[in-house]
Amino acid sequence: MATIVENPSLTGGSPGAEPVVDNYLTFTRGWKSWAFTLDHKRIGVMYLCATLGAFFVGGVMALLLRSELFFPGKQFLSPDMYNHMFTLHGAVMTFLFIIPGIPAAQGNFVLPIMLGAKDVAFPRMNLGSFYLWVFGAIYLVAAIIFGGLDTGWTFYTPYSTTTNTSVILATTGVFILGFSSIFTGLNFIVTIHTMRPPGMTWFRMPLFLWATYATAIIQVLATPVLGITLLLLIAERAVGIGIFQPELGGDPVLFQHFFWFYSHPAVYIMILPAMGVISELISTFSRKHIFGYRFVAYSSIAIALLGFLVWGHHMFTSGQSAVSATMFSFLTFSVSIPSAIKVFNWLATMYKGSISFATPMVYALSFIFLFSIGGLTGLFLGALSVDIHLHDTYFVVAHFHYVMMGGTLIAFLGGLTYWWPKMTGRMYDEFSSQMAAIGVFIGFNLTFFPQFVMGARGMPRRYADYLPEYEFYHQLSTIGAFVLGVALVAAVGILVRSLWTGPKAPANPWGSATLEWQCSSPPPHDNFATTPEVGDPYAVESVKWSDSERGYVKNPSYVPSKDH
């Protein structure tokens, strides 16, 4: 980072905005100015590094899992080691990477700027949330060192209350991470409600903000229930309260209800911000106003609220009563409608646009492809009788990797490549990162598509060993995982390389109309020199390409339409 800071060209101000002397990276120096920063942008950058680190740790674990499964029988991981590995892979990926991934890393960076505010409402709490993440991560790592964890990321009782791995350490870690997530959500809700500048009405907010707002609702309402569930689990192990223990009169299925009351809404914590990113990308790179703004905005809220009513679909075979299963199945499908609305609106946005295949758009297009598969396979799982067959097989594993990895991670990369020039002031190499994006796409499908087939044919999940009939699919999947690994390392490597070699980024390289592109790249400490001009966030015609700036500048002939 030092290189950027010292580069004199950066302080010369970026084209397209008023010349600015310092930016948030150069504003103050020294590690303390980062460790104790209250600037949402720096906190966002720290979150970004941290969550990416977690992703790589989780990814390495995934590669170990896949390597073990290349042949049936034991290769190099004992069954116990395998169990530890998938548990930690799942726990690290969900709690350390994907839940904070988009909202806390990218959201923190852009949310206040998009809104036209100087910062989030509670900067101290924001920093606190980051450190809670760090502590939570330390606990999880401690759990790995002191005895490991082999419960699955779901912590089902009574397995989790009887195993002799360090469940208490790990659940304490997740408990802390839960608070980190609550603080982020709470901060965002308050910021969006109380920090909007004049002119920034609800319906002038970019869809990414609607999405993070909807996400924040879930974070605030659902995460506390995870907190109490984990506390009860800790108490169960420590003093035997018996609430989840059958031999003490308790009920293990109760635990599943508690767990999924949080964890189903949590999957929408993962996907909603991703959908928000995609809405920004599709409109920008089609150079067209987003289609059906209000429908897309409302559908985020609808997904957030409906998402609370469907948790029972993870428990169709648990001994749940037939009546509740029916109810949950029905409600599950209701979430597909707002998701469908979004997908179709993105397509309609592309219609008659001017579509660029810049890296973020490549990710956005692969998001539509992969998320459709992931979402549509959710329909198989939501259908009662079919889920009985598919539950706890690789079909489910494939489903959730398609939505989490094919959906959220791809959108994360899309957002990262989109806001990268804004965050760092550097442009990365376009061609190589497009290639990396395509590599990720191919590797991903090769990894997870075969899992649908073997899952439907009965291959159970969480298996360290399997029957020879599934070998072919496992081998495809393992090969895919390595392709994916290489492509991902390339994708991130290209970005990192741009810090040293990339050309200086203009204020608005893509031609977006949202506020974060009005300030220089990287933005100044206080975000805006003057109160930003709030207009329609998708009026892409309000900016036009300028060869001299190598970016987009204000279009003098633009007249805001009455329509929006």
Partner 1 sequence: MSTADVVSPVTAPGEHHAHSGDGHDHGHGHQPHLAHHFESYEQQFDAGKLGIWLFLVTEVLFFSGLFCAYVVFRVLYPELFAFGHLFLNKELGAINTVVLLVSSLTMALAVRAAQLGQRQVLISMLVVTIACAFVFMGIKYVEYTTKFREGLFPARYFAPTPEALLHAAHMIHDAQSHGAAGHAAGDGAHDEHAADTSHGHDAKAGDHAHEEVNKNGLTAAEQAMVDSVKVPANAGLFFSIYYCLTGLHGIHIIAGIAAISWILVRSIKGHFTPLYFGPVEYVGLYWHLVDLIWIYLFPLLYLIH
Partner 2 sequence: MWLSKFAVSFVPAQLTSSYWLPEPNSTFAPEVDGLFMFIFWLSVFFFVLIVGLGTYFALKYRRVGTTEVVAPSASHNTALEATWSLIPTALIFVIFGWGFVGVVDMRTPPENAYEVQVNAKKWAWNFTYPGGLPDSDLHLPVDQPTILTMTSDDVIHSLFIPAFRAKMDVVPGRYNKLWFHPTKTGENVLFCTEYCGREHSGMNRKVFVYEAGGVEKKLAEIQETIDKMDPAELGKITFEKSGCIQCHSIDGSKKVGPSFLGLFGTTHDITTGEKITVDENYIRESILEPMAKIAAGYNPQMPSYKGQLREKQIEGLIAYIKSLKNSSSK
Partner 3 sequence: MTAATIDHTGHGHDAHGHDGHAHHGHGHYPGVPSYSHIMPLWILFAVFASLIALTALTVALSGVALGTAEIFVSMGIATIKALLVAVYFMHMRHDKPLNVLICTFSLVFVALFIGLLLFDSMEYYPNIAARTYVEMLDKAK
Residue 316 in the binding site for partner 3 (CB under 8 A): no
Handedness of CA 371, 374, 376, 379 (dihedral sign): negative
Residue 158 in the binding site for ligand HEA (CB under 6 A): no
Structure tokens at 486: 């290489």
Residue 254 in the binding site for partner 1 (CB under 8 A): yes
Give bridge partners of residue 551 from the DSSP assignment. Answer: 546
Cα separations (Å) of 134 from 67, 126, 215? 30, 13, 21
Whether the CB-CB separation of 25 and 4 falls below 8 Å is answered with yes
Q: Which does 90 bind (CB under 5 to 8 A by kind): partner 1, partner 3, ligand HEA, none?
A: ligand HEA
Applying the rule CB under 8 A, the residues between 107 and 136 that interact with partner 1 are 117-119, 121-123
- 470 Cβ partners below 8 Å, 6+ apart? 72, 454, 457, 459
Residue 202 in the binding site for partner 3 (CB under 8 A): yes
| Nearest residue (CB) to ligand HEA, 242 versus 460 | 460
| Nearest residue (CB) to partner 2, 39 versus 236 | 236
Handedness of CA 282, 203, 561, 15 (dihedral sign): negative
Residue 37 in the binding site for partner 1 (CB under 8 A): yes
Compose the 307-326 pattern: x for residues touching ligand HEA by CB under 6 A, - for all others.
------xx------------
For residue 159, the surrounding DSSP H or E stretch is: helix 159-162
Residue 56 in the binding site for ligand HEA (CB under 6 A): yes
Whether the CB-CB separation of 72 and 468 falls below 8 Å is answered with yes
Give bridge partners of residue 554 from the DSSP assignment. Answer: 543
Q: Give the Cα separation of 274 and 295 in Å (integer).
A: 17
Handedness of CA 182, 187, 188, 194 (dihedral sign): positive
Whether the CB-CB separation of 222 and 553 falls below 8 Å is answered with no
| Nearest residue (CB) to partner 1, 265 versus 551 | 265
Q: Give the Cα separation of 16 and 105 in Å (integer).
A: 26
> What is the closest distance, in whole angstroms, from the C-beta atom of residue 267 to Cu ion in the complex?
5
- 231 Cβ partners below 8 Å, 6+ apart? 175
Q: Which does 59 bind (CB under 5 to 8 A by kind): partner 3, ligand HEA, partner 2, none?
A: ligand HEA
Residue 146 in the binding site for partner 3 (CB under 8 A): no
Residue 225 in the binding site for partner 3 (CB under 8 A): yes
Applying the rule CB under 8 A, the residues between 356 and 385 that interact with partner 1 are none
- 263 Cβ partners below 8 Å, 6+ apart? 154, 226, 311, 314
Q: Which does 403 bind (CB under 5 to 8 A by kind): ligand HEA, partner 3, partner 2, none?
A: ligand HEA
Q: Give the Cα separation of 77 and 81 in Å (integer).
A: 6
> What is the closest distance, in whole angstroms, from the C-beta atom of residue 426 to partner 2 in the complex?
21
Whether the CB-CB separation of 43 and 127 falls below 8 Å is answered with yes
Nearest to 514 by CA among 478, 496, 540: 540
> What is the closest distance, in whole angstroms, from the C-beta atom of residue 157 to partner 1 in the complex?
13
C-beta nearest to ligand HEA: residue: 59
Q: Of 228-236, 319-327, 403-411, 540-548, which part binds ligand HEA (CB under 6 A)?
A: 403-411
Compose the 171-200 pattern: x for residues touching partner 1 by CB under 8 A, - for all others.
-----------x---xx-xxx-xxx-----
- For the stretch 87-90, contacts whose Cβ atoms lie closer than 8 Å and that sit 24 or more positions apart, written own/partner, are 87/149, 87/150, 87/151, 87/152, 87/153, 88/58, 88/61, 88/140, 88/144, 88/148, 88/149, 89/58, 89/61, 89/62, 89/65, 90/152, 90/153
| Nearest residue (CB) to partner 1, 321 versus 530 | 530
Tell whether omega for the bond before 103 is within 30 degrees of 0, i.e. cis.
no
Residue from 264, 287, 474, 525 in contact with Cu ion (CB under 5 A): 264
> What is the closest distance, in whole angstroms, from the C-beta atom of residue 366 to partner 2 in the complex?
10
> What is the closest distance, in whole angstroms, from the C-beta atom of residue 292 to partner 2 in the complex?
5
Residue 340 in the binding site for ligand HEA (CB under 6 A): yes
Contact positions toward Cu ion, by CB under 5 A? Answer: 264
Contact positions toward ligand HEA, by CB under 6 A? Answer: 56, 59-60, 62-63, 65-66, 86-87, 89-90, 93-94, 97-98, 152-154, 267, 270-271, 313-314, 332, 335-336, 339-340, 343, 372, 375-376, 378-379, 381-382, 387, 391, 396-397, 399-401, 403-405, 407-409, 447, 461-463, 477, 481, 484-485, 488-489
Contact positions toward partner 1, by CB under 8 A? Answer: 11, 18, 20-22, 26-29, 33, 36-39, 42, 117-119, 121-123, 182, 186-187, 189-191, 193-195, 220-225, 227-229, 231-232, 235, 239-243, 245, 248-251, 254, 258, 524-530
